[in-house]
Structure 1
Amino acid sequence: MLALAAEDEAEPAADAVLTSPAYRRILAAFERTAHGVRAKDLCQALDAALEPKQIEGMRAKLKRLVARSILTEPEPGPFTLPRPKRRRSHRPTASGEESGEGSYIILSGFRSGVG
């Protein structure tokens, strides 16, 4: 009996939300945009019906993704992918302390002006 319980714990069931083709299409649409997307706009982008019932269904799916921390809703309406965390610079200030505010750098897309 304990062996059966251990087998169940060893292989957790995959989240149906993440494996569903509908949710994969939604996430693919978010990967192609850099700004917030509203449920109605996403329905239009995915060639779904623009009836209130379908828009509310899309909004419910987006809220599920927010609950799982896959998307964010910074304000009511638009949904976005979470922004990548910025890395802190550990450059000392003139006083010898590590710099605080303004010490964030983004490494991706960085080009040095030095040739």
Structure 2
Amino acid sequence: MSEPLAILGLIRQEVEAAVDVILTAAGAGLQEMPAISKVDAAAAERLERHLLRILESCAFQDLTGQRLQQLCALFNDAPSTSRPQDPLLNGPAPEGYGLDQAAADRLFLEP
């Protein structure tokens, strides 16, 4: 797997994980609605509308996943270019790519 594809895969995983947390929290909030509505029905109704909007808004994750899949296909079809890259200019690297901490430490120790 090429580095751009690996990065896109990480983005996709991180988006999915974040959306899962959001969906789980909003779902848990909705399950609390019967207890809340006994105390303040109007506030419970407003809160329920907000939680439902959160759930509906998470549809972006599906669209994002589709677009990332399209980008991966583009990278698979693109001709490979080999050019030397400075690992310090690439930003944070995914695990297994770029410099590890020991390599970065050696760079600072070199005269």
Instruction: Classify the TM-score, shorter chain.
Output: under 0.3
Greater RCO (CA < 8 Å, at least 6 residues apart): 2
Q: State the TM-score, normalizing by the size of structure 2.
A: 0.26
Q: State the TM-score, normalizing by the size of structure 1.
A: 0.26
Structure number with higher helix proportion:
2
